[in-house]
Amino acid sequence: VNDYPSQYKVKLSGMLRSPKIDFHPPFLMLMPVPLDVETEGVITIIPQDFIRQSRIRVKLPTLELADGTKTCPFSVQFPEGQDIFLSSDGTANELTCSISFRSSKPMSFLGEMLFIDQEEN
């Protein structure tokens, strides 16, 4: 290259994809139960476009009752772990998430739980 004063141009292009997760089923409806009895549902988290290992965590909603007290009647467990691993072919493992509800006071709730990775995606 040094012996030839020609110019060389290299054109690069790429696409940046943000990591995202899908859920199966896309929403969860827990069955009504008597007071202080736990009800539970299971969802599958399907990671997409992750380029490195990541850990999923959940922000649970805090509910305010009619008497003004605040409570969080939900709990979340990841029976097989909450880390997303990439395989050699670039695909990510699916995660199983168990969501439980238990309350000593009557209530109903329609809302969201936030599932995020360590980079706040």
Give tens-digit pLDDT for 22-50. Answer: 999 998 889 999 999 999 999 999 998 88
Taking the C-alpha atoms of residue 34 and residue 101, their distance in angstroms, rounded to an integer, is 11
- pTM here? 0.78
First-residue to last-residue Cα distance in the chain: 45
Is the predicted pLDDT of residue 54 greater than 60, yes or no?
yes
Domain ranges of the chain: 20-116
Residue with tokens 């493992």: 93
Taking the C-alpha atoms of residue 111 and residue 96, their distance in angstroms, rounded to an integer, is 20
Tokens of 108: 């109903």
